[in-house]
Amino acid sequence: MELTVQDLACARGGVPVLEGVGFTLRGGRALLLRGPNGIGKTTLLRTLAGLQPPLAGRISAPPETMAYAAHADGLKATLTVEENLRFWARVFGTRGIDRALDEFALRDLAQRQAQNLSAGQKRRLGLARLLVTGRPIWVLDEPTVSLDTASVALFGQAVARHLRGGGAALIATHIHLGFEAEELDVTPFKAKPRALGHFDEAFA
C-alpha cells in the first residue's frame, strides 16, 4: 500500500488554492498536514478522497482505498450507535463491529440513538466508522474536534494500531496526536494568484 501524489493542484469554489503538491505515504506511516486556516488542507483531502476532481497532477491510489472522515460525522440520527456501525459495515461489505465499539469506548452507548449522543460521543462514533470500512488509507480532517483528552488518546491509539497493521493515515490537524508521524506544511504549495485578465488600455 502506497499513496503517491505528484504535482497536484486543487481548487475550492473554482479558485485554485494549492498547486505542485507532492508526497509519498507508505503503509505503516502517518502524515500530518499542517498549515494555517484557509490554506487548503480540507480541499486537498477532499481531492484525494475523490470528492472533487484535481485541477492537475496524479494521485496513485484510487478513492476506494481511502476512508474519509470530514468535519461532519455523517451519522444516521435515529439509528443507534450499533445500528450505525452495522449500516456502515454493510455499505463497505465488511463484517463485525466489535473492534469499533471497543476501540472507541462505545459499548455502553451501543443502544443509544446517534441523535442523543454528546458532540464528543458523536465524533467517537464517526471515527469508529473508520474501523468498519476496512480501507487501508485513512484521510482525516481535524478528527479530534470535540474530543476530550481521554478520547484524543483513544483516537491516537486506534490510529497507531491501524499503522501497525500496515495501514496509513493522512491527517489535517493542529494538535499532537501521540504517535510518530511525518509532517507536511502545505503553505509553500499555496497557489499563485491568477494573472489579471487582459489589460484594457482604454482605462489607462
**Residues within the interface to ligand ATP (CB under 6 A):** 12-13, 17, 35, 37-43
Q: Nearer Cβ to ligand ATP, position 48 or 97?
A: 48
The residue nearest ligand ATP at its CB is 13
Q: Nearer Cβ to ligand ATP, position 28 or 63?
A: 63
Give the residues across from 170 on adjacent strands.
Answer: 31, 139
The least distance separating ligand ATP from the CB of residue 137, rounded to whole angstroms, comes to: 19
The least distance separating ligand ATP from the CB of residue 154, rounded to whole angstroms, comes to: 23
The least distance separating ligand ATP from the CB of residue 17, rounded to whole angstroms, comes to: 5
**What single letter denotes the amino acid at residue 111?**
Q
**Residue matched to cell numbers 443509544:** 112
List the strands of the sheet with 15-26, edge to edge. 15-26, 2-12, 56-59
**What single letter denotes the amino acid at residue 115?**
Q
φ/ψ of residue 145, rounded to 5: -60, 135
Q: Nearer Cβ to ligand ATP, position 105 or 191?
A: 191
The least distance separating ligand ATP from the CB of residue 41, rounded to whole angstroms, comes to: 4
3-state secondary structure of 52: coil
